[in-house]
Amino acid sequence: MRVLSASLGQLILEGAQAAQRAGVLSGCTLPEHAHLSHPTRSEWGDYSCALPLQLAKPMQQNPLEIAGQIEKYLPDSVLLGDTSVSAPGFLNIRLNGDWLASQIEVILGLGSAYADLQYGDGKSAQVEFISANPTGPLTVGHGRGGVVGDSVSNLLAAVGYQVTREFYYNNAGQQMRRLGESLRLRYLQALGQSVELAEDHYHGAYLVELGRGLYVEHGESIVDADWEFFKTKAEDAIAGNQRDTMKILGIQMDVFFNEYSLYDDGSVDKVVEVLRDKGFAYERDGALWFAATSLGGRDDRVIVKSGGEPTYRLPDIAYHCNKLQRGFDLVVDVLGADHKDAFPDVIRGVEAMGYDGSGIKMLMNQFVTIKGNRMSKRSGNFVTLDELLEDVGPDVVRFFMLMRAAGSHLDFDLDLAREQSEKNPVYYVQYAHARICRVIEKAQSEGFLGDSGDVDLLCHPAEHLLIRRLLELSDTIDRAVRELEPHHLTAYARDLAGSFHGFYRDCRVVDVDNKALSLARLKLVRAARFGLARTLELLGVDAPKAM
């Protein structure tokens, strides 16, 4: 399957080049791509291109004249139907109806992967996401990062990459000691001892429950155990809880990478050694500093505190060197907004170590605010991802988490998320798929069997719009991958569902008095099922057969 907008854009550029060769357009350098959009008025066709407006200044010509000359010199193509020019300088294209109808057979022949692309074939990608500290349950913010990372992984696989999903456990440093100490105190409280947690300990109720569980299991036999014993117990329990939550959310990791291993195998020490040898690390005020300014950074950064404890930047540099050592062509870090300042320094550190950091990309996910009636039977308001999943379900959580760009703040409308009607965008899309399944079932019960329909009979505007939408899945996948923005999928899903609902309203599918047209329309319905199911699959959302 081709990326339709790219194919049309190339035809427009070829028309501009031909007009230049004919001498009717001046010889300025043309852009690499001609971008298209959907016109606001249906009479202007399926796509509009503003290239003539872009060329008006360098060519010193009227944009309407430029558009007219490009239209005149457009090459012959099966894609092109009617073309037109509109003010102030748009070139408008309507797709060829016969070609559109023929694409139904292409979709049915390729099946659910009809829109997949191949430019990632032979390449590998690693997507690191969630990477929560093993110090508490997953939060709603972790959930957003999880959904974004998992959908990005699906998209990369759809363009051919061999994808590794990875979770990085920050299980080293003083935070782990505080975790162990916190659980030990909760255990002693369960024994009846009067002990209090310090301000920097972990105060979550989950440790109260875990402390009571240890008392039930061990009684007083572990009263003299040190913080490391309790740290291990807490880490194992919390990591297990996090994995259970990810399973509910439909996320399956390929690798769980422990930060502690970077200390065990000498990777962290190696970074310090190399940075020192190359003059990129120096001591000041008893601490070790990374000379980030010598590599283009705004400030030098402490990587080992005066007390000997590394800051996050040091193991993160070692970790990213490890990623590149494993041979990934693309590395995507799905990180919270609090990592924004540190990430560039990590890349500088990787490059100071002698690696090419250009293949490492950061996808930042912003905070989530729960809007609406937030009452929860356990805590009075949502604190954990588990509670949100229990309330509205994984499909709704996943879809809603992707309705805005990852880098934008997300208001999660809980009242809308609880709505089990077409007002809820998830149900609106899922209902379209369920309706398709019901139409196919009804057609079969009335004797419309086989796949002998003649797609040339499909000429209604609603039919053509639905086919065009189906073909735009490749464009959507391509854009979402190139921008690393899976939210484009939710917008597309709603558009595709809307186009199907409009087609179903305007075009009777099962008509015993017109069997030929019914069979043709059933082919389109089956193609639409492939498109909706694949879109939902990329989002990690269920495609129900009935609702």
Residue 384's pLDDT is: 86
Residue 374's pLDDT is: 58
For residue 511, the domain's CATH number is 1.10.730.10
**Do 447 and 527 belong together in one domain?**
yes
Residue (of 477, 404, 471, 398) closest to 161 by Cα position: 477
d(CA 137, CA 204): 9
Residue 378's pLDDT is: 41
**Do 154 and 257 belong together in one domain?**
yes
451 residue type, one letter: D
For residue 32, the domain's CATH number is 3.30.1360.70
Residue 373's pLDDT is: 61
**What stretches of 216-300 adopt beta strand conformation (E)?**
255-258, 281-284, 287-290
**Do 316 and 335 belong together in one domain?**
yes
Residue 375's pLDDT is: 45
Last residue of a domain, one of 248, 277, 305: 248
**Do 265 and 240 belong together in one domain?**
no
Residue 377's pLDDT is: 41
> Considering the domain boundaries, does residue 215 fall inside one?
yes
Centre a 10 Å sphere on the Cβ of residue 450 and count the other Cβ atoms it contains. Answer: 7
Residue (of 361, 329, 321) closest to 161 by Cα position: 329
Yes or no: say if 292 and 345 are a contact pair by the CB < 8 Å rule: yes
Residue 204's pLDDT is: 87
**Do 359 and 259 belong together in one domain?**
yes
d(CA 439, CA 522): 8
Full residue range of the structural domain in which residue 298 is found: 124-169+253-365
> Considering the domain boundaries, does residue 522 fall inside one?
yes
Q: Which residue has the tokens 């291109």?
A: 49
Give the distance from CA 19 to its chain's centroid.
Answer: 41
* Parallel, antiparallel or unpaired: strands 287-290 and 281-284: antiparallel
* Parallel, antiparallel or unpaired: strands 330-336 and 360-365: parallel
| Consecutive 10-residue averages of pLDDT for the chain (547 residues) | 89 97 93 93 92 96 97 97 95 96 96 96 98 91 97 98 96 86 95 93 92 95 95 94 97 96 96 98 97 96 94 96 98 93 96 97 94 54 82 97 96 95 96 97 87 92 97 97 98 98 96 93 97 98 96
Residue 372's pLDDT is: 79
Q: Which two tokens stand for residue 192?
A: 């009846």
Last residue of a domain, one of 248, 273, 303: 248
Give the distance from CA 386 to its chain's centroid.
Answer: 21
Residue 51's pLDDT is: 97
**Do 463 and 492 belong together in one domain?**
yes
> Considering the domain boundaries, does residue 302 fall inside one?
yes
Helix, coil or strand: residue 82: strand
Yes or no: say if 389 and 469 are a contact pair by the CB < 8 Å rule: no
> Considering the domain boundaries, does residue 378 fall inside one?
no
Centre a 10 Å sphere on the Cβ of residue 199 and count the other Cβ atoms it contains. Answer: 5
**What number of CA atoms fall less than 13 Å from residue 229's CA on the CB side?**
12
**Do 427 and 527 belong together in one domain?**
yes
**Do 352 and 434 belong together in one domain?**
no
CA angle 94/95/99 to nearest 5° reads: 160
Helix, coil or strand: residue 98: helix
d(CA 333, CA 520): 46
**Do 87 and 134 belong together in one domain?**
no
Residue (of 5, 13, 30) closest to 70 by Cα position: 13
Q: What is the DSSP string of 26-66?
A: --PPPPS---EE--SSGGG-SEEE-HHHHHHHHHTS-HHHH
Split into its structural domains, the chain has a count of 4
Contacts of 482 (CB under 8 A, 6+ apart): none
pTM of the predicted protein model: 0.93
> Considering the domain boundaries, does residue 185 fall inside one?
yes
Last residue of a domain, one of 220, 248, 276: 248
> Is-cis flag, bond preceding 88, omega within 30?
yes
**Do 495 and 348 belong together in one domain?**
no
Instruction: Give just the sign of the alpha carbon dihedral 277, 281, 285, 286.
Output: negative
Yes or no: say if 547 and 123 are a contact pair by the CB < 8 Å rule: no
Sheet containing 90-95: which strands, arranged edge to edge?
36-37, 47-49, 90-95, 80-86
Q: Which residue has the tokens 């503003």?
A: 50
> Considering the domain boundaries, does residue 399 fall inside one?
no
**Do 60 and 134 belong together in one domain?**
no
For residue 313, the domain's CATH number is 3.40.50.620
Instruction: Give just the sign of the alpha carbon dihedral 437, 441, 447, 449.
Output: positive
Residue 288's pLDDT is: 97
> Considering the domain boundaries, does residue 272 fall inside one?
yes
Residue (of 9, 16, 57) closest to 33 by Cα position: 9
> Considering the domain boundaries, does residue 396 fall inside one?
no
Residue 170's pLDDT is: 84
Burial class (CB in 10 A: 0-12, 13-18, 19+), 81: middle
**Do 532 and 450 belong together in one domain?**
yes
